[in-house]
Structure 1
Amino acid sequence: MSRPTRHPFHGAVYHVTARGNRRANMFVDAYDHSIWLRIFEETVDQFHLLVYGLCLMPNHFHLLVETPDANLSAAMHYLNGKYAKKFNWRHSLSGHLLQDRFHAVHVDKQEYLLELLRYIVLNPVRAELTHHADHWRWSSHRYHCRLAPCPAWLASDWVIDQFPGPTRAARIHAYRKFVDAGHVRHVRTSGQIDEALAFAGDADIPMLAIIQSSHPHRDMAIRAAWQCGAYTREQIARHFALSVRTVSRVINAEASAESVSRSQAPGHVSAAGRGR
Structure 2
Amino acid sequence: MGRKRREWIPHAYHHIYSRGNNRQNIFCDETDMQEAFRLLTMIHNETPISICAFCFMTNHYHLLLKTEEVSISKIMGIFNKRYTDYFNGRYRHVGHVFQQRFNSSPIPYPQDLLQVSKYIHRNPISTKKPMVVRMEHYPYSSYKFYKNANYYPYHF
- Asked if Structure 1 and Structure 2 have the same fold, meaning a TM-score greater than 0.5 normalized by the shorter chain, the answer is yes
The number of aligned residues is 153
- Provide the C-alpha distance between the structure 2 equivalents of 1:14 and 1:91, rounded to a whole number of angstroms: 31
Which 4+ residue blocks in structure 1 deviate beyond 4 angstroms? none
Give the corresponding residue for 1:110: 110
**In structure 2, what is the Cα distance between the partners aligned to 1:72 and 1:105?**
10
Equivalent residues in 2 for 1:90-239, closer than 5 Å: 90-127=90-127, 128-146=130-148, 148-153=151-156
Structure 1 counterpart SS, 2:28: coil
Match of 1:21 in 2: 21
Q: Deviations over 1:203-255 (max 9, x none)?
A: xxxxxxxxxxxxxxxxxxxxxxxxxxxxxxxxxxxxxxxxxxxxxxxxxxxxx
Name the SS of the counterpart of 1:99 in structure 2: coil
Amino acid aligned to 1:130: V
Hey, what's the Cα distance between the residues in 1 that align with 2:86 and 2:113?
31
Contact 1:15 1:62 in 2 (8 A): yes
CA deviations on 1:83-125 (whole Å, 9 max, x unpaired) are: 1111110111111101111000010241200111011100110
> Deviations for 1:13-64, whole angstroms, at most 9, x for unmatched residues?
1000011011000001100111111111111222211000001110000000
| Mapped contact 2:11–2:68 kept (Cα < 8 A) | yes
What SS does structure 2 have at the residue aligned with 1:137? coil
Mapped to 2, the partners of 1:4 and 1:125 lie a distance apart of: 34
Report percent identity of matched pairs: 28
Partner of 1:167: none
What does residue 68 of structure 1 align with?
68
d(CA) in 1 for partners of 2:41, 2:133: 28
Give the unaligned 5+ runs of structure 2.
none
SS in 2 for 1:101: coil
Distance, in Å, in 2 between the alignment partners of 1:37 and 1:134 is 17
Using the TM superposition, name which of 116-125 and 41-50 deviates more: 41-50
Are the counterparts in 2 of residues 50 and 67 from structure 1 also a CA contact under 8 Å?
yes
If each structure's helix is expressed as a fraction of its own residues, which one has the higher value? 1
**Deviation for aligned residue 1:150:** 4.3
1:55–1:138 Cα contact (<8 Å) kept:
yes
Q: Structure 1's 2 and 126: CA in aligned 2 closer, same or farther, altered over 3 A?
A: farther
**Cα distance in structure 2, aligned partners of 1:7 and 1:54:** 20
What do the CA deviations read for 1:105-148 (whole angstroms, capped 9, x no partner)?
Answer: 01024120011101110011011111210111100001222374
Return the structure number with greater relative CO, CA threshold 8 A, min gap 6. Answer: 2
Which residue is 1:57 aligned to?
Answer: 57
Q: What code does the residue aligned with 1:118 have?
A: K
Structure number with greater Rg is 1
Name 1:273's counterpart in structure 2.
none
In structure 1, the gaps of 5 or more residues are: 154-276
Q: Which has the higher strand share?
A: 2
